[in-house]
Amino acid sequence: MTTSRRRFLKLSAGGLVGLGVGGISLNAVAAEQVDPENPQAKALQYVHKSAKEGQHCANCMLVQGNAGDVWRPCGIFPGKLVNSEGWCAAWAKKPA
């Protein structure tokens, strides 16, 4: 095996390991849903299922991420995901 081929294989393996670790950490972050029992969530009366007619996370101006996803990031709860059908006291209508 030539030195350059060995070096290439070593770099490739390193790249794959890096991607794997990155993938795992992204999944870990994405899987973290807001716990309604969390003190901040409680203070904002967050629930996974809105009881307010016409008000839910999917039509709140603070929700982020992709329309249609059930769990989405929210500007009020950094690093957490809220349910599209959820609600909290910070709800504000998304501009049309």
Task: Please tell me whether residue 91 binds ligand SF4 under the rule CB under 6 A.
Answer: yes
Q: Which is nearer to ligand SF4, 24 or 40 (CB)?
A: 40
Q: Are 74 and 63 in contact (CB under 8 A)?
A: yes
Task: Please tell me whether residue 71 binds ligand SF4 under the rule CB under 6 A.
Answer: no
Q: Which residue from 96, 93, 64 is spatially nearest to 81, judged by alpha carbons?
A: 64
Q: Which is nearer to ligand SF4, 35 or 90 (CB)?
A: 90
Taking the CA atoms of 62, 68, 71 and 73 in sequence, report the sign of the dihedral they define.
Answer: negative
| Positions in the binding site for ligand SF4 (CB under 6 A) | 46, 57, 60, 62-63, 74, 76, 82, 86-88, 90-91
